[in-house]
Amino acid sequence: MKELMQSLRESAVQAILNADDAEKLENLRVRYLGKKGELTAILRQMGKLSAEERPVMGQLANQLRAELETAIEKRRAELSRVMMQKKLEQETIDVTLPAKDMRLGHKHPMYSVLDQIKDIFIGMGFEIVDGPEVELADYNFTKLNIDEGHPSREWTDTFYFTEDSRILLRTQTSPMQVHAMETKSLPIRMIAPGRVYRKDEVDATHSPMFHQIEGMVIDKGVTMADLKATLNLVVEKIYGEGTVTRFRPHHFPFTEPSCELDIQCHKCGGKGCPTCKGEGWIEVLGAGMVHPKVLSGCGIDPDVYSGWAFGMGLERLAMGEYKITDLRLIFENDVRFLEQF
């Protein structure tokens, strides 16, 4: 039996040293030390031994088990060190290799224009506010002094969510005037850019979704002169110093008086060209003095406070600035188009 154990030791130690991966090593452990392994098989024969020999052999067997376990552990540690070494060698990074070409995107042309406008107004002490695109008819129309029968309230013009025409997709950013007056303390100087929705067929100049920027100032003693001076300044910052403007009387239910602001065509200087469609002038925005009814409806005393407001289309501005002739290009996001800016 001693001899059997001796030869088991020799072959096992050799095999363990030769094992070249963790799986083989585990197989060896099972083969020699497992429940059905070779050492167990030898120990089964203990019964044949004499009472004196049994404890001696038992001790030898325990020694052998311990020795083989140690050998296996040692080999396992060695193997994992070798594996790690190999892995590190394979995965070395050559920092001198040229980097992969990265494609960097850039700002969408419409957002470049928006950022420019935000900068101009922030510079004048305005705050930028955001509000809901799903709106109550109350805010989109009623509180803006737009009567029940007004054509813009028609189902053919406006996206409604409810049969009772109470909830809708805002058709303009003007409801932000009401939100601002209801929630902010006076004085107010704000602009509110955002998406608006109308039931328009898609073509080169129309889209059912587009962007507007609303602006409003409410304070004591605000007059039409403030409106004109501020908007003239904004126009000069966008289109360049000396840009000629024209304030044309107009009608909006929520401002009184109301006007539209045109700029003299910066392309032809007012002679008439394709950019201004032969008109010499380009319409930029609608504006006016906030209607006293709108002020009082928002809890502001029109005898103490006054204000002016404007609303402009962002796409049209970007199209003018970048000579984009088709509105659809702005929303398609074709990189061949976007990369030109």
Of the two residues 39 and 294, which places its CB atom closer to ligand DAH in the complex?
294
Contacts of residue 282, defined as CB under 8 A and 6 or more positions apart, other chains included, come to 262, 263, 264, 265, 266, 275, 276, 320
Contact 128, 192 (CB under 8 A): yes
Give CA–CA dist 201/184, Å, rounded: 37
* 310 is a contact residue toward ligand DAH (CB under 6 A): yes
Q: Out of 286, 297, 307, 320, which residue is the one contacting ligand DAH (CB under 6 A)?
A: 286
Give CA–CA dist 113/116, Å, rounded: 5
Helix, strand or coil, per DSSP, at residue 332: helix
- The site string for ligand DAH over 249-268 (x = CB under 6 A, - otherwise) reads ---x--x-------------
* 214 is a contact residue toward ligand DAH (CB under 6 A): yes
Of the two residues 174 and 306, which places its CB atom closer to ligand DAH in the complex?
174
Contact 48, 5 (CB under 8 A): no
Q: Which segment (13-21, 102-110, 203-211, 286-294) binds ligand DAH by CB under 6 A?
A: 286-294
- Shortest distance in whole angstroms from residue 97 CB to ligand DAH: 56
Helix, strand or coil, per DSSP, at residue 310: strand
Of the two residues 29 and 316, which places its CB atom closer to ligand DAH in the complex?
316
Give CA–CA dist 263/252, Å, rounded: 20
Q: Which segment (29-37, 117-125, 162-170, 305-313) binds ligand DAH by CB under 6 A?
A: 305-313
Closest residue to ligand DAH, Cβ-based?
A: 311
- Shortest distance in whole angstroms from residue 144 CB to ligand DAH: 8
Contacts of residue 227, defined as CB under 8 A and 6 or more positions apart, other chains included, come to 287, 288, 289, 308, 310
* 158 is a contact residue toward ligand DAH (CB under 6 A): no
* Nearest one of 244, 209, 204, 221 to 304, comparing CA atoms: 221
* 197 is a contact residue toward ligand DAH (CB under 6 A): no
Of the two residues 255 and 264, which places its CB atom closer to ligand DAH in the complex?
255
- The site string for ligand DAH over 167-186 (x = CB under 6 A, - otherwise) reads -----x-x------------
- Shortest distance in whole angstroms from residue 143 CB to ligand DAH: 13
Q: How open is the CA angle 195-198-203, to the nearest 5 degrees? A: 95
Give CA–CA dist 223/308, Å, rounded: 7
Binding residues for ligand DAH, per CB under 6 A? 172, 174, 214, 252, 255, 286-288, 309-311
